[in-house]
Amino acid sequence: MAERTQHGNRNFIIGVWLTWTAIAVVSYARHYFEATHPFVWANGSWPELLEWMACFYPWAVLTPFIFRLEERFPLASNAWKRSLGIVVLSSLVFCYLAMAMGGLLNLGIDRSLGKLAPPSSYLWDGNRVVLYFEEFFFWCTFCAACAIRRFAQFHRQATQLALEKSQLEASLRRAELENLRMRLNPHFLFNTLQNISVLTQQNPKLACQMLARLGDLLRAALRRNNSPETTVSAEMTLVQDYLAVEKMRFGDQLTILVDATPESEQALIPSFLLQPLVENAIIHGLRGISQVGSIAMRSVIEGNRLVLTIADNGVGVPAELRDDGSGGIGLSSTRERLDKIFPEDHRFVIRKLDEGGTEVLISIPYRRRERSAEEKIASEEAATVDR
């Protein structure tokens, strides 16, 4: 913060000197082209330019102090009458200092170039025109200080409002996403409990095993429930735990295929993204089929995109679900989450496969999880051991 403040002060000082230099040069150019009477120095000579600029550079030195004066006694305040009186008296002091500093600079320039004149000739001789010019420079600088300070205040307020708006939008988005996830978790739980309740009549032992496995799955899911994002590897592990519960019901009638490329395993995805889609494939795709059901999950990196697919070999998702995803909680909530997290930067496609079954494809930006310091150290130690 201190370094940034020093950098800003340095830029301010440089800007002040460049501004007054530009004003002096433009003013001298006008003076040069309009001059018709003889000068002490040759018209257009370097000594004359230096003496001309000596009238402006004192204000470059005094400008920071005038900015402080304006900040300390702003005219746009309730005590503006008091502030105006102080500023008017201060203007006389600043003008006298500017004239004295300009005279000393001119004296130094003339002496260095061999022109001898009494020092008293460089003091103010009471000419009111000179005082008027100096007052003009003071009030121009004072007004510039007021305008710049008001602009800086407006910019800070606009930045603060933009930051607060961004924070509010982020909070609302997190709340919406949390609401969507809260809709998914009970949906998954109720469906699984319903399956278990059916099995309690048909196969009580299997129902007890499924209930125990469900408890393990819920503990794993709740441990990461506060995290809005997870890795592909962790999400697929959770899905496989869920499929293990379903496999106890389907037995050999269900096969699970997982194909995640190594570079995609640490990619970040929204938490609890794949499980509702797999559950939807089992409910709508595999129910009622006579052959062995198959669920295939795949993740791959294509350019700067992460592509996830979930396919089954069942009867396929009904057409109304493929079109807009509005026919089921799992599909509709997944679509809503992707719309909010990756607005206009994702693909969510449900299509019927030519060979039978349904495929759900998700394409989102590829973002990799940064490894922690402990993981990096462990990886380096493992590499050292291998060598």
The answer to whether 242 and 187 have CB atoms below 8 angstroms apart is no
Per-residue model confidence (pLDDT) at position 382: 45
- A 10 A CB-CB count for 286 gives 22
Query: Which segments of the chain belong to CATH 3.30.565.10?
Result: 176-386
Confidence of residue 385 (pLDDT cuts 50, 70, 90): very low
Residues in the chain: 387
Per-residue model confidence (pLDDT) at position 384: 44
Per-residue model confidence (pLDDT) at position 373: 47
Torsion over CA: 28, 34, 39, 43 (sign):
positive
For domain 176-386, give its CATH number from 1.10.472.10, 3.30.70.3270, 3.30.565.10, 3.40.50.1820.
3.30.565.10
Q: For the whole prediction, is pTM greater than 0.75?
A: no
> Could you tell me if residue 317 is left (phi over 0), alpha (psi between -120 and 50 degrees) or otherwise beta?
beta
* Residues 297-341: tens digit of each pLDDT: 999 999 999 999 999 887 766 655 555 544 466 677 788 888 888
* Residues 27-63: tens digit of each pLDDT: 877 777 766 554 444 454 667 777 778 888 898 899 9
Euclidean distance between CA atoms 258 and 260, whole angstroms: 6
* Residues 80-116: tens digit of each pLDDT: 888 899 999 999 999 989 888 888 887 777 777 766 6
